[in-house]
Structure 1
Amino acid sequence: MLVRILGSVLAVAALAACQKMLSETTLRPLSTLAGTEWGPIDGPEDQFVAFKSGGEVLGSGGCNNFFGTFEQSGRLVTFGPLASTKMACPEPLMSAEQEFLSLLADVRAAEATWKELTLYGEDDQPLVTLRRRDWD
């Protein structure tokens, strides 16, 4: 009986330590966006942006796929021209997609942890906060 209680106490302590390490990891800043994928916290589930190595970016506006380039130097981030497929989708999906792509064009900086990415525009105004899609 004592062995079971001691084992349970040790298991709970180990889980608590793991949770603390996970919390600290999710708050640690990312130094690069390459290799990450993000989607809106409150938006169409199909919208996302994926940063690939070599400065490539791809994603979906919710209806059409897009691709292009991005540059990152520390906190500064800009997107090159983005090309996309041209499917027509019903409203409000088309408007949401246009808003998402316009937002990406306005990005000038970013701050990312392992779990969230905030994109900033001119004058360091926050544009949107995205959630990491491959982290859940």
Structure 2
Amino acid sequence: MKKLILPFVAALAVAACSSTMGGKSAMLSLDKLKGTSWVASEVDPGRSDGRKPTVVFGAKDAPEVTGFGGCNNFFGGARMDGDKLKIGPLAQSMMMCEDGAMKAERTMHQKLDATRGARMDGDKLLLVDEAGAVLLRLSPAK
């Protein structure tokens, strides 16, 4: 009987250490995001120059987010409200672009505004909504 208990306890300990909230990785705080730059490679503004939307979290002492939405540059606040990450309100330059770029930019801004958390999936930063559903999947900027 003792021979069965030890492997069971060891397996239970390994499983407990490797599991996180509901099978999802833990949410990141804004402090962990400060000074990082990301590319929204899944959002295609259809630009002839191939430029992709970006999100940059400010330096440690600046609670802000900046980036490129697909047509215009944007900037705004980023703060923690309890355990929730909130981005915005966002302001942007007012250039006109092709329809695809304008649509991609609206989508980016809506998703950033709806963001309530962030977590890592490998090297990807996932911005998630209130329910934990992925809004944006961001790759590290090079």
Give the TM-score normalised by structure 2.
0.66
Answer yes or no: is the 8 Å Cα contact 2:28–2:118 preserved in 1: no
Q: Give, as a single letter, the amino acid of the residue that structure 2 aligns with 1:47.
A: P
Q: 1:42 Cα deviation (Å)?
A: 2.0
- 1:23-42 equivalences under 5 Å are 32-42=32-42
The Cα offsets for residues 80-116 of structure 1, whole Å up to 9 and x where unpaired, read as: 2100011110111110110011100000010036721
Tell me how far apart the structure 1 counterparts of residues 122 and 131 of structure 2 sit (CA, whole Å): 25
Give the whole-Å Cα distance in 1 for the aligned partners of 2:109 and 2:37.
16
**Matches of 2:123 and 2:69, distance apart in 1:** 21
SS in 2 for 1:82: strand
Measured in 1, the distance between the counterparts of 2:38 and 2:110 equals 16
Deviation at 1:123, TM superposition (A): 1.4
| Whole-angstrom CA distance in 2 between matches of 1:48 and 1:87 | 17
Q: 1:98 — aligned with what? A: 106
How far is the alpha carbon of 1:62 from its aligned partner?
A: 1.3
Indicate the percent of aligned positions where both proteins have the same amino acid: 35
Q: What are the within-5 Å matches in structure 2 for residues 1-136 of structure 1?
A: 32-44=32-44, 45-53=51-59, 54-72=62-80, 76-112=84-120, 115-134=123-142
- 4+ runs of 1 displaced by more than 3 Å? 72-75
- Whichever residue aligns with residue 101 of structure 1, its letter is H
> Does structure 1 retain, via aligned residues, the 8 Å contact 2:37–2:57?
yes
Greater helix fraction, Structure 1 or Structure 2: 1
Structure 2 distance, partners of 1:75, 1:114, is 22
Taking only aligned residues, the RMSD between alpha carbons, in angstroms, comes to 2.3
**C-alpha separation in 1, matches of 2:79 and 2:122:** 19
Equivalent residue letter for 1:71: R
In structure 2, what is the Cα distance between the partners aligned to 1:30 and 1:124?
12
CA spacing shift, 1:133–1:74, aligned 2, 3 Å: farther
How many aligned residue pairs are there? 107
Q: SS at 2:97's partner residue?
A: coil
- 8 Å CA contact retained: 2:28, 2:117: no
